[in-house]
A and B are shown apart, each in its own frame.
Chain A
Amino acid sequence: MTLVFSLAIAALFAVGAFLMLRRDLIRLIAGMIMIGNAANLFIMASALRRGRAAVLPGNGDEMADPLVQALVLTAIVISFATAAMALVIVYRVYTSHYSMDLTELSAAEEEQSERDEPESGDLVEQDIEEDIEEMPDDAKVGVLA
């Protein structure tokens, strides 16, 4: 089973990585969710033993490892929270730029940073999501193609 689990984890991760490399912001978030799934599956697969559900009283059969289950519960909820948050931020990006295309967004960002301080390209280095919230309105006109 070790091999089967690793193959499944790797496949889910690869799909997630592929989606994260797309230009579309929604696919990027889908990639995040997918990689989260792969991580959760990995934690579950690292159980020290498998068996019946970890509920007392037992009938003498071996019980599944309860610790990894508790860890995965936490992980699932947290990854859900981050995914939801990211989705809402994407929505905000859309409302201010009318676009969810990463290429267009970075072009807009570069334009903006050139307008602000011609010498410095530092703004490019910051995360898009963080930046866009702070953009003044007049900068966004150029994006609307």
Chain B
Amino acid sequence: MNAAMMLLVISFAAPLLVLVAGTINARLVPHVAVLATALAAVVVGWSFWQPDAAIRWTWAEVYGLHFELRLDGLARLYALLAIGIGFLVVAYASRYMELHLHHGDRPASDHIRFFFFLLLFMAAMVGLVMAQDLILIFVFWDLTAIASFFLIGFDQHEEDSRSSAMMALVVTGVTAVLVLVGAMLLHHDYGTWSLPAIIEQGGIQDSAPWALLLIAIGALAKSAQVPLHFWLPRAMAAPTPVSAYLHSAAMVAAGVFLIGRFYPLMQQVDWLLDVFLVIGFASMLVGGILALTRNVLKQVLAYSTISQYGYVVFMFGMGGDYGIKGASFYVLAHAIVKSALFLTAGAVTEATGKKTLADIGGLRQTMPMLALGSGMAAAGLVALPLTIGFFKDELFFARAAQLGAPYMVMAVAGAALTFAYIFRFWTHIFLGREISPSQPISTWLVWPVVVLGLLTVLGGIWPAPFTHIAEAAASVSTNSPQKLHVEYVIAPIVENLMAISTWVFGFGIYWTRRRWWRVALGIAHLGEQLGPAHWYYRGLNGLNHLSDSIHSFEVRDLRSRVASILLPAGILVGLAVLVTPNANSFEIGPIQQSDFTLVIMLIAAVVSGLVVMTLRDHLRLAIGLSSVGYSLAGVYAFMSAPNVTLVAIVVETILSMFLIGMMVLMPRTILRFETEADSDRRSISRDAVIATVAGLLVFFVSWGALSRTSWNTEIIDSQTVLTPAVHGKNIVTVILADFRGFDTMGEITVITITLIGIISLLRSGRLR
């Protein structure tokens, strides 16, 4: 069993173990979850000493699909984030969820749901980062969206939770479809579903840039980039461990992971990189400015995440060796520090019961360990020396400096905003005077933060292990071996100058906050009024109204129901016929001289059908109907089907008699009244249009189908051979009575039941 297999098995076994433990006792669930993720963390650590490993199973060979996974450098980086941070978050959640459920008076069995979906999410991430097959990538991609829906909406009794979960699902789920479309286009261009094979073929083919753009939109939506960022702050309705995990290390990271996975192709499309630059910078600014104005702890961090992933997207846009290595390193560093800050927010809220910066302060005395741990993490995020964060910004600045002054200005602006809001966040919580009293909290809510804080400092002192991970990931993203080495250079080089100016500007922004406070709030307010979230709600409402009005039309009466099936079906099929390439798929078919009689009978059937439409009274209607039926019986006769002809004539005769018999039972006045009620000109032309559309639909469908009948006549031959064996001569009757005897039995049963029904309905007389 190789490393890829081990990882896949252990991560998908974990949610199942939780379910099993849940059936025994719900209180066991957190412990089982911690153990399972600890085991997975050991495996992922062990995998770093293993060579690249692959799994390749045949999946759906007809379509060229393979269950193809590969543990490469990029997969290792994101699997480490998903499982490593996942382990710490699960450890934290094992205590936090107990309190959370206790506060809400909820049963312990809710643990099962929470940990099942959390671990399912982890498993989906592990599958996603290793997947190499385009469809497999989509499957895991969607699985993360589904798991996150249940996690964000975990507090399902709250309306806010539910609508936030729905918003996250709509934004990431709809864009996931774009990823699928992109995958289809790539398959169409390159003829394979395997991403490594596509990259090996090299070059960018006709529709590939558009395919990559679609995939990039999916990725950017998942990474909460402007203008599809609005779901992330709303998703903070989830319990804190979910925010810490999904919105720092996993779900949003999946977006930039996807860019990293497709980067060997994307880097060949220049305008796509420009798109990354624009969106990355916009996210940096929007996220940064809004983070400054927020008061709720988790909201500050949510906007911070938008801004930080804006950095990563910006770096992908800048490209170059430094850009890509920097992006990989940035994701790693950011996941560590941001999850620590989220966990801090959760612990602080748990201790004080308050959620906003204004209500919290001076916690350094009561919670020194938490202050220390989160202080290290905050220092990492604002890129102070001796933390891993310093190097993440160094690489960012190094690439910007290579590209010139405008990029340097943008980089410093983004980083200075980060400094300002994180400084505000940490100092407001831990410094100053105590505002609300705090209770002591479980050490399980503190030590994960401290571990992450120590990791931040460790990365600042000994960056080699982290750079190895990042360079292996960057090698996959650029499809060429990369080396990454960082060290402190104590000299006035341009990166250091940019870092210093960042701190100065950042502190300046914080210090002068009273001056621009109103402006920033105004921008935030404007964004709420005119921003994408507003259009999301408008769009959703519009769709709702549309669906309501279609529904109310559809259920109005039987006719509108018929129309609302026929019309859209006709239009959709018509569009499909227009759009799909269909050369040679319609054939006229040979007409022999002997077909002459057949054509005559068909014309007779059609003409009598058209006449039936125009008839106004019911007796002629009945006669017209039967003349259609008899003409068709003639058609069957000339198609050498004597059995069918006989049955058709008998049935048609009975039906005509039945129809006429019905008319005898009804008074003339009613029948005449009905015919006149229908002769409204407008309704006739409307119905004629609908009928024409439906007829065209059937024409194309049946023509297409009849042009492509099977050439395999084995069944006919075998039935011909078998017929003497059952002592029959007429193959059709033998099929009915013998080969498909059960069918005929069922048919006879239906006829009998109908007969009983008809008799009882006719006999029971008038109701009044």
What 0/1 readout, one digit per residue, does chain A (1-45) give for beta carbons within 8 Å of chain B?
111111111111111011111111111101001100110111011
Measured CB to CB, the nearest residue on chain A to B695 is: A14
Known: A65-B716, A67-B715, A70-B736. A5 touches B706 (CB 8 A): yes
Interface pair B662/A91, CB less than 8 Å apart: yes
Interface pair A66/B757, CB less than 8 Å apart: no
Which chain A residues lie closer than 8 Å to B559 at the CB level? 20-23, 102
Which chain A residues lie closer than 8 Å to B744 at the CB level? 74
Which residue of the partner chain, among A17, A24, A41, A100, contacts B691 with CB atoms under 8 Å? A17
Of B204-212, B245-253, B404-412, B674-682, the stretch lying at the interface with chain A is B674-682
Q: Complex formed: what's the CA distance from A76 to B242 in Å?
A: 61
Q: Complex formed: what's the CA distance from A125 to B555 in Å?
A: 6
Which chain A residues lie closer than 8 Å to B640 at the CB level? 50-54, 64
Central interface residue in A21, A41, A83, by most chain B CB within 10 Å: A21
Which chain B residues lie closer than 8 Å to A50 at the CB level? 639-640
Is the CB of B517 closer than 8 A to any CB of chain A? no
Q: How large is the interface on B (under 10, 10 to 19, 20 to 34, 35 or more residues)?
A: 35 or more
Is the CB of B711 closer than 8 A to any CB of chain A? yes
Interface pair A85/B713, CB less than 8 Å apart: no
Which chain B residues lie closer than 8 Å to A90 at the CB level? 662
Which chain B residues lie closer than 8 Å to A140 at the CB level? 767-768
Is the CB of B587 closer than 8 A to any CB of chain A? yes
Interface pair B757/A73, CB less than 8 Å apart: no
Interface pair A3/B589, CB less than 8 Å apart: yes
Of B31-39, B518-526, B653-661, the stretch lying at the interface with chain A is B653-661
Interface pair A10/B648, CB less than 8 Å apart: no
Interface pair B761/A2, CB less than 8 Å apart: no
Known: A14-B692, A15-B612, A69-B732. A27 touches B621 (CB 8 A): yes
Known: A3-B588, A64-B639, A128-B558. A46 touches B735 (CB 8 A): no
Is the CB of B696 closer than 8 A to any CB of chain A? yes
Interface pair B723/A56, CB less than 8 Å apart: yes
* CB proximity to A under 8 Å, residues B719-756: 719-720, 723-724, 728-732, 735-736, 740, 743-744, 747, 750-751, 754
Is the CB of B635 closer than 8 A to any CB of chain A? yes
Is the CB of B562 closer than 8 A to any CB of chain A? yes
Interface pair B609/A12, CB less than 8 Å apart: yes
Q: Complex formed: what's the CA distance from A70 to B128 in Å?
A: 51
Interface pair B702/A102, CB less than 8 Å apart: no
Which chain A residues lie closer than 8 Å to B670 at the CB level? 94, 98-100
Known: A10-B696, A48-B716, A96-B767. A15 touches B610 (CB 8 A): yes
Q: How large is the interface on A (under 10, 10 to 19, 20 to 34, 35 or more residues)?
A: 35 or more
Which chain B residues lie closer than 8 Å to A51 at the CB level? 640
Which chain A residues lie closer than 8 Å to B612 at the CB level? 15, 19, 30, 34
Interface pair A37/B628, CB less than 8 Å apart: yes
Which chain B residues lie closer than 8 Å to A6 at the CB level? 699, 702-703, 706
Which residue of the partner chain, among B563, B643, B710, B761, contacts A92 with CB atoms under 8 Å? B761
Which chain B residues lie closer than 8 Å to A57 at the CB level? 729
Is the CB of B296 closer than 8 A to any CB of chain A? no
Interface pair B698/A38, CB less than 8 Å apart: yes
Measured CB to CB, the nearest residue on chain A to B743 is: A74
Q: Complex formed: what's the CA distance from A49 to B698 in Å?
A: 22
Q: Complex formed: what's the CA distance from A11 to B694 in Å?
A: 10
Known: A50-B639, A53-B641. A14 touches B694 (CB 8 A): yes
Is the CB of B606 closer than 8 A to any CB of chain A? yes
Which chain B residues lie closer than 8 Å to A63 at the CB level? 716, 720, 731
Interface pair B732/A54, CB less than 8 Å apart: yes
Is the CB of A137 closer than 8 A to any CB of chain B? yes
A7 → chain B closest CB, angstroms: 7
Interface pair A27/B678, CB less than 8 Å apart: yes
* CB proximity to A under 8 Å, residues B592-611: 595, 598-599, 602, 605-606, 609-610
28 contacts between A and B (CB under 8 A): A1-B591, A2-B587, A2-B707, A3-B703, A4-B602, A6-B702, A12-B628, A13-B695, A14-B694, A19-B613, A23-B677, A24-B674, A30-B621, A34-B625, A42-B702, A42-B706, A44-B635, A50-B640, A56-B723, A69-B641, A73-B643, A77-B747, A84-B658, A84-B758, A91-B761, A100-B670, A124-B556, A137-B768
Q: Which A positions have Cβ atoms within 8 angstroms of B?
A: 1-15, 17-28, 30, 33-34, 37-38, 40-42, 44-57, 63-67, 69-70, 72-74, 76-78, 80-85, 87-92, 94-96, 98-103, 106, 124-125, 127-128, 137, 140
